[in-house]
Amino acid sequence: MKEAQVRVVIVEDQEIFRRGLRAQFDTDPAIEVVAEFGTALEAVRAVPELRPSVVLIDLRLPWRPHEKPRYCGAEAIRQILRCCPGVGIAVVTAFPEKERVREALHAGALAYVMKEDPAEDLLKAVHQTAAGAAFLSPAVAALLTHLIAAPTNGGATFAELTQRENDILAQYAAGKTVPEIASYFNIARRTVDNRLSEIVARLGVPTRKDAGARAREIGLGQPEDPGQPG
């Protein structure tokens, strides 16, 4: 029997949903669930020893046993990545609000899927996260597109991006890869991936290539505008 390539830790306080997740993962021989936790703190303490490929976590759950659920998932993500920066984080939640998505991505999550999404989206999110790639389920991507007002012209939306977002996008529009951008700004590849995903969502475009094309239309990504390192 082929050994599982992706080791997953599930962090979810609803036991019935945890069982459903495990049942979905059992259909994929490349995935092994190595542990399940119902609170954030249990996962934070256990992940350094377990060394999973991916931590699949809800955003709203108890921090400690016997506590009421609260939005502590993002803090758990930060603490896990602080001690285990190589672990991929995928969020699976019932909360699609733009603020929650941004909070999770800023904390370091690579993937964000909804609990009602098809099983294939969940499996794809886990595999891409294990590979170090970002993934937003179609439902989340569509929601973000609708939440963000479409620009009346190219410059208006780009003016709303932060300076660092514009700098990263300028590098991407100039044809630089994620590793090259990370090296240029001396930041983690995960950070570049997260920023690019956020930029795509904020601009309301389907893909990173579309964001890069729109950036070039207004002059970003040209040799005289490479973005500032540091």
State pLDDT tens for residues 113-132.
999 989 999 999 999 999 98
| Spatial CA neighbour of 221 closest among 212, 229, 210 | 212
Q: How confident is the model at residue 144 (pLDDT cuts 50, 70, 90)?
A: low
Tell me the residue ranges of DSSP E strands in the chain: 6-11, 31-37, 54-57, 60-61, 70-71, 88-93, 111-114, 135-136
State pLDDT tens for residues 67-82.
999 999 989 999 999 9
Q: In order of start, what are the domains of the chain with their CATH numbers?
A: 6-137 (3.40.50.2300), 148-217 (1.10.10.10)
